[in-house]
Chain A
Amino acid sequence: MTLLQIQDLKKHFPVRRSAMEWLKRAPAQSVHAVDGISLDIAAGETLGLVGESGCGKSTVGRSIVRLEDATAGTINLNGAPITTLSRGAFRSLRKDVQFVFQDPFASLNPRMTVAQAVGEPLLNFGMTDPVERRARVAELIERVGLRPDQIDRFPHEFSGGQRQRIGIARALGLNPKLIVLDEPVSALDVSVQAQVINLLIRLQQEFGIAYLFIAHDLAVVEHISDRVAVMYLGKIVEIAEKRSLFARPRHPYTQALLSAVPVADTDVRRDKIILKGDLPSPINPPSGCRFRTRCPIAQSICAKEEPPLRPVSAAVGTHSTACHFAE
């Protein structure tokens, strides 16, 4: 069953013109952070969203919880149009979709105790009895692997991994159907990262929550996801069942991305595809296929026609890619 459906989502950020540019009447420009993406997430599944900095993956996540207002396109949660609802009407939907941020040091108010931080959403959604709320916070805190006697402490008394657990407890409080996780483990050391990933998987099995897992670490995304979408410069270039994607990536960008990951095994000597150059500017993205400026197999058609996301043969499930030359 489809829980979340995103259709042709666009988010453009205006670029401020300098006084000189304004005087010269330079045209207003905008950063095309997300430029027409469609995807859906089924109830209880994990969709991994990967890509390098600036590809727009975080903007997609932030649009889902209306931290950004979409420029165009629609996002439907259980049939309700998130993007067009008024702020007030969206409030009732907030229970169903929660967000966990990357930096556990910045996403918790340093002056609120755990009981206050985790209890705030509960209070906002009608749990006004302080005794009941405290009991619920204690239960949540235990669920994420902290001790209930720690709930009167402040964020600075916890390590990074523990703070991320608090953020997860806060997101869990209202029994959401979807949690958007924006780089939830990339600020953590590997031993702690494993603890948090295992916790997320356990919670999903227990409560049947769907995850949108946004990350740049491909191995982590492969571990946690059911399906994976790869973004490049505001577009989805490939989306597939994870086994199909990792067994046979079809888009040259996905192939380069996978080959670039350093592997901790001296026996595995893979041929690397080393991409030339940097990410082009999202203000004036290249014509046609956006990846063509760095693509090892680009032809003249790539500059003229933008390749649509189309189905290709899949080992498991479905597999779509946006490349003129993928079979």
Chain B
Amino acid sequence: MSLIQISGRADMALLEIETLSTAFTSRQGEVLAVDRLSLQVERGETLAIVGESGCGKSVTALSTMRLLPEPHGRITGGHIRFEGRDLAGLSEAEMRKVRGRDIAMIFQEPMTSLNPALTIQRQIGETVRLHMRLNKSDVRARSLEMLELVQFPEAERRLTQYPHELSGGMRQRVMIAIALACDPKLLIADEPTTALDVTIQAQILEILRDLSARLGMATLLITHDLGVVAEMAARVVVMYAGRMVEQGAVADVLRHPRHPYTVGLLAAVPKLGSSLNEGPRQSLAEIPGTVPLVRSAQTSCAFAPRCPLAVDQCRRELPPAVEVGPSHVSACWRTKDVPAMAAKLREGAL
């Protein structure tokens, strides 16, 4: 095991987040939503960030897009390098040229992110007009092309419809069409299918997968659903209390998790087809307690109070990210003992 060298690589990643910290000020005082997070998204790859509510995954996305509700939420440290340029230091005017053009974002609730007073055509056209300087008929053609790309039925007729006339799945297609209208290099998708029914989720995930492959676009996918991670991403970052706790190829992390939190998350979810196994129903593995609120830079492992493996060292020292396999990283003092813990949990002995 060796300490990971996070900074400076010759072949530059498309997006490189380095020791990012983001804080919020509220009536209850300061809350550190993201605490020295580092990750990279390579060109064309899909990276998933997974974690429960409050782990900082959405705040990471908003920080990258510089969409934090300033001054209450602000980046307090670190760098966000997109093609080598630090977005954290850009002015609002410069940032506007990046948003929608180089980096686009889609949100969980398409109804609240579309403008209810504008037609579909106007909303797709807005991005195109701003960034691509096309004339009126080209804007319309591009809007139509985008709707067809997201498999929007009767696109021509529906260009003049308003968001309220569309179903949730159709609205999310419009959001994707807007996001992809200027051929962004990176798409940030924040829980894109969480509000949708499972059959509609399958349609949208299929479209996203197909388009990112066809357009060679990188995707930063934010989700709480490990099933969605398995279907969509090549690599995954598991976050807990604002920090990365595990990172690696999706197959490695899901099949051989090396952080107790990842193990707990996997065991807490009932598996489809579980009733087909012989024997009595097993109870689900619980992670006792709840997610802590982090107020200042962490000096010990935030998961220790809920961790069955925790020892004194975990409560005293912040665990560094160590390599546990090829491009597989875990931030846990007891990562060596995690496979045995996972096996015990499977047998229901923990």
B286 touches A195 (CB 8 A): yes
Q: Which residues of B are found within 8 Å of A52, using beta-carbon distances?
A: 197-200
A191 touches B264 (CB 8 A): yes
Given contacts A256-B199, A278-B200, contact A189 B52 (CB under 8 A): yes
Residues in chain B within 8 A of chain A (CB atoms): 52-53, 153, 167, 169-170, 197-203, 205-206, 224-231, 250-251, 254-255, 264-266, 268-276, 281, 283-288, 290-291
> In the complex, what's the smallest C-beta–C-beta distance from B169 to chain A, in angstroms?
6
B272 touches A266 (CB 8 A): no
B199 touches A265 (CB 8 A): no
Which B residue's beta carbon lies closest to that of A261?
A: B272
A218 touches B197 (CB 8 A): no
- A220 within 8 A of partner (CB): yes
- A111 within 8 A of partner (CB): no
| Contact flags A233-269 to B (C-beta < 8 A → 1, else 0) | 0000000001100110000000011111111111100
B199 touches A201 (CB 8 A): no
| Contact flags A186-210 to B (C-beta < 8 A → 1, else 0) | 0001111111011001000000000
A278 touches B170 (CB 8 A): yes
A223 touches B281 (CB 8 A): yes
Interface centre among A194, A219, A246 (most CB of B within 10 A): A194
- A39 within 8 A of partner (CB): no
A198 touches B227 (CB 8 A): no
A258 touches B272 (CB 8 A): yes
- A130 within 8 A of partner (CB): no
Main secondary structure of the interface of B (DSSP, over half): helix
Q: Which residues of B are found within 8 Å of A192, using beta-carbon distances?
A: 290
A275 touches B199 (CB 8 A): yes
B206 touches A246 (CB 8 A): no
A266 touches B274 (CB 8 A): no
C-alpha gap A61/B80 in the complex (Å): 49
B230 touches A275 (CB 8 A): no
Given contacts A161-B290, A195-B286, A218-B198, contact A264 B270 (CB under 8 A): no
- A153 within 8 A of partner (CB): no
- A159 within 8 A of partner (CB): yes
C-alpha gap A267/B256 in the complex (Å): 13
Given contacts A216-B198, A262-B228, A274-B203, contact A267 B290 (CB under 8 A): no
Which A residue's beta carbon lies closest to that of B169?
A: A278
Given contacts A264-B266, A274-B206, A278-B167, contact A191 B275 (CB under 8 A): no
7 further A-B pairs in the complex, CB-CB below 8 A; given A222-B270, A246-B276? A194-B284, A195-B286, A219-B274, A243-B275, A264-B229, A267-B255, A278-B169
| Contact flags A42-79 to B (C-beta < 8 A → 1, else 0) | 00000000001100000000000000000000000000
| Contact flags A213-235 to B (C-beta < 8 A → 1, else 0) | 00010111011000000000000
B275 touches A222 (CB 8 A): yes
Given contacts A191-B265, A223-B274, A256-B199, contact A264 B226 (CB under 8 A): yes
B273 touches A246 (CB 8 A): yes
Which B residue's beta carbon lies closest to that of A201?
A: B283
Contact of B276 among A191, A195, A243, A261 (CB under 8 A): A243
B52 touches A194 (CB 8 A): no
A261 touches B198 (CB 8 A): yes
C-alpha gap A80/B6 in the complex (Å): 69
C-alpha gap A193/B284 in the complex (Å): 9
The 9 closest A-B pairs by CB, nearest first: A262-B227, A264-B226, A223-B270, A191-B287, A52-B197, A194-B284, A194-B268, A260-B202, A189-B52
Which A residue's beta carbon lies closest to that of B153?
A: A277
- A272 within 8 A of partner (CB): yes
Which A residue's beta carbon lies closest to that of B54?
A: A189
Of the A-B pairs whose beta carbons lie under 8 Å apart in the complex, a sample of 30, sorted by A's number, is A52-B198, A189-B52, A189-B291, A191-B265, A194-B284, A194-B286, A197-B284, A198-B283, A222-B275, A223-B275, A243-B275, A246-B272, A246-B276, A256-B199, A259-B202, A260-B198, A260-B201, A261-B198, A262-B205, A262-B225, A262-B227, A262-B230, A263-B272, A264-B229, A264-B230, A272-B202, A274-B202, A274-B203, A277-B153, A279-B197
> In the complex, what's the smallest C-beta–C-beta distance from A256 to chain B, in angstroms?
6
> In the complex, what's the smallest C-beta–C-beta distance from B199 to chain A, in angstroms?
5
C-alpha gap A53/B288 in the complex (Å): 31
Given contacts A266-B255, A278-B167, contact A222 B274 (CB under 8 A): yes
Given contacts A189-B52, A246-B276, A247-B276, contact A265 B270 (CB under 8 A): no
Q: Which residues of B are found within 8 Å of A278, using beta-carbon distances?
A: 167, 169-170, 200
Q: Which residues of A are found within 8 Å of B264, using beta-carbon distances?
A: 191
Q: Which residues of B are found within 8 Å of A260, using beta-carbon distances?
A: 198-199, 201-202
B285 touches A194 (CB 8 A): yes
Contact of A198 among B52, B53, B224, B284 (CB under 8 A): B284
Contact of B269 among A264, A274, A275, A279 (CB under 8 A): A264
Which B residue's beta carbon lies closest to that of A244?
A: B275
A191 touches B52 (CB 8 A): yes
